[in-house]
Chain A
Amino acid sequence: MARKSNGGVGRRRMLKGAAGVAGAALGSGAITGFPAIWAQNIKNITLRQCGTGVSAINEIAAKCKADLGFTLQMTALDSDAVVQRVVTQPNSFDIGDIEYWMCKKVFPANTLQAMDVKRIKYFDKIVPIFTTGKLKPDSVIAQGTAPNTVSFVEGPGSTKFAKGQTGWFTMIPTIYNADTLGIRPDLVGRKIENWKDILDPKFKGKTSILNIPSIGIMDAAMICESAGIVKYGDKGNMTKAEIDKTIDFLIKTKKEGQFRAFWKTFDESVNLMTSGEVVIQSMWSPAVSAVRAKGVPCVYQPLKEGYRAWGGGLSLAKHLKGAQLDAAYEYINWYLSGWVGAFLNRQGYYSAVLETAKANMSADEWGFWMEGKPAQGDIKNPQGVVVEKKGAVRDGGSFYDRMGAVACWNAVMDEDRYMVQKWNQFIAA
């Protein structure tokens, strides 16, 4: 695709005054990584970003202010609240930082607008998981709401997801990762290789899965499939019968006392693990780091059946226009330009454009986080705290090992309504 980087100039005519035009011309692609809008105009702009806690990072807002000049206000909510905010209060935010499974649900509500890929500078460099769906040309697209299935709509203003790639992108991927079970290697006392190992009677009363219906059901499905209880057509879009079988099995397991608790927030999962209430449970990657940071051993155990993946992205509110919309595009281009990517990678997440992130990381950091190589020196998190010592290797290995072994993406099912009823039944049982 012959995409010219200065294609945005014409669209910036919204900017009032000569200063604005001069600024637009200045930033039309000739100078990269700098604000393209005249600072006089944008310094008054505030972009309100609402999203999940994982990606509402103050350092990013501060760096954005320093690099681009405008203010980024971040509101961190839990995933349910984000969905509600985006659908029911579309004017209360400018940038929606949502997850791909949410996108499937909220984009059709017509409160977001698709982005013109011509204005996204690094569009061609975005990891292909989000565009073609295939990490490598020969990869198989995983089950569930794979990001590429909700990444494009049919045209500007459309809310209908396109089958293939179009010029209208719904979300700029921010953070994504492959999730698995976290274990306490000092307490499990055996090798953990499969999702079904969480059902081992040895761990009775010492396991947990998460109680967010749309994600919990996926972990449950990974477990059921691994244990041979249910064989799914598509774990990300179960039939009623499959939901019944899964939930019935969960209820049976719950009644036998296998689970200690069901967690809903990040800190709950950290506390369960640190305190030794559980020894094996569903976990998110930074939670594993948080447990380790407290000096408690914790491993993000790669499993034979593969990972359950998730991803988030930035989407634009429908009401954005003019200078604000320009600022939003500036923000997005800046987001992909490397500094943020490196920041996110250092937290153990993955960022959308690898090339630019790599340029902002040291060879050792890149080797440890992305290539699965042993650390040459101390590995620090973005705040400068040492998280891994020399010689450590990332659980699960390289980016391609981990993202290449995704079995399923977090998803919204067609039988959503039924699933929640059944999930309530499970929690009430």
Chain B
Amino acid sequence: MSRINAWITYLQVAPLALVFLLFLVVPIATIIVVSFFDYNTTQIIPAFILQNYDELLTSPVTWRTYLQTIEFAAITWVLTLVIGFAVAYFMAFHVRSPTVQTVLFLICTIPFWTSNVIRMISWIPFLGRNGLANTTLLNLGLIREPLEFLLFSDFAVVLAYVHLYTLFMVVPIFNSMMRIDRALLEAARDAGASGWQTLWNVVVPLCKPGIAIGSIFVVTIVMGDFVTVRLMSGGQSASVGLMMMNAMSLLQYPAAAANAVILLLLVLFTVAAMMRMVDIRKEL
């Protein structure tokens, strides 16, 4: 009997296992294998060489690009966390009526019904030299020369990231907050905690799973991004994804694969570190 049960269990996990095997394990294994291949202008040559990794890891460009990507990820993470937390807090604790909560939540999500790229590109005419922002500031007499750093700069990149990805923080944090038993807040107040103390000692710890999930979303998306960096920096900044794009555009798949493996390791490491701090499964 227990044997049959075991089989049934295996059958039950089989579909998902198969999907993972086909669409996750096989592609990643392929990337890893290809990253050791050799290549020339026209073809990829099956081999086992370390040259791709060697060229990648010994080049100062790689390190600089990785640092830049991590920097983008870190700044974006901090900003989206602060903004996302504030927005979620407002919706969860300051808005009393569930109807208004739902409406506000919908308002947050509506921009996400448009394409990611459109939302990003719409910043360009706004921030440009003769764009809305500069024209307004000039007309108000606040500045004399158009602010050049607004567009095609790291500022623009981070701005777009924050705009695009804050919702990924808002949703899970809001979700965590809604599960907090309001009695705990009252208890904290009765025990004499100030507003900040309640926030820091009650709300934040209970929101940890939401924060962790949001952080994983934001950090992994930013680390793998190439479109935002290219469009918003006007090609002035690099990211790891862009490096891979450049390599692939010249059919240098093994070089791009090696880079992908390194990036994957870095992201896995980051996510593992986050999971260590918060046990998401336990909290869900």
Cβ A264 vs Cβ B235 within 8 A: yes
- What is the CB-to-nearest-CB distance from A221 to chain B, in angstroms, rounded to a whole number? 17
Cβ B152 vs Cβ A80 within 8 A: no
Per the 8 Å Cβ criterion, residues 204-254 of B in contact with A are 230-231, 233-238, 242-243, 245-252
B186 at the interface (CB under 8 A from A): no
Cβ B238 vs Cβ A427 within 8 A: yes
Cβ A428 vs Cβ B61 within 8 A: yes
Cβ A213 vs Cβ B42 within 8 A: no
Question: A83-B251, A420-B246, A421-B55 known; A261 and B41 CB under 8 Å?
Answer: no
Q: Among A106, A212, A275, A425, point to the contact of B249 (Cβ < 8 A).
A: A212
Cβ A261 vs Cβ B130 within 8 A: no
CA distance A142 to B176 in the complex (A): 66
A190 at the interface (CB under 8 A from B): no
Cβ B235 vs Cβ A428 within 8 A: no
A211 at the interface (CB under 8 A from B): yes
A196 at the interface (CB under 8 A from B): no
Residues of B within 8 A of A264 (CB): 230, 235
Interface string of B27-45 (1 = CB under 8 A from A): 0000000000001111100
Question: A417-B252, A427-B242 known; A275 and B125 CB under 8 Å?
Answer: yes
Residues of B within 8 A of A276 (CB): 129-130
Select from chain B the residue with minimum beta-carbon distance to A79.
Answer: B249
Cβ B131 vs Cβ A275 within 8 A: yes
Interface residues on B, range: 35 or more
- What is the CB-to-nearest-CB distance from B213 to chain A, in angstroms, rounded to a whole number? 31
Cβ A412 vs Cβ B235 within 8 A: no
Interface residues on A, range: 35 or more
Please give the residue numbers on chain B whose beta carbons come within 8 Å of chain A beta carbons, in ascending order.
Answer: 39-43, 55, 59, 61, 64-65, 68, 124-125, 128-131, 148, 151-152, 230-231, 233-238, 242-243, 245-252, 255
Q: What would 30 A/B residue contacts be, using CB atoms closer than 8 Å?
A: A79-B249, A80-B250, A83-B250, A105-B42, A109-B42, A109-B43, A208-B234, A262-B236, A263-B234, A271-B124, A277-B130, A416-B250, A417-B39, A417-B255, A420-B250, A420-B252, A423-B246, A424-B65, A424-B238, A424-B243, A424-B246, A427-B235, A427-B237, A427-B238, A427-B242, A428-B61, A428-B64, A428-B65, A428-B237, A428-B238
Please give the residue numbers on chain A whose beta carbons come within 8 Å of chain B beta carbons, in ascending order.
Answer: 79-80, 83-84, 87, 105-106, 108-109, 205, 208, 211-214, 254, 259-264, 268, 271-272, 275-277, 412, 414, 416-417, 420-421, 423-425, 427-429
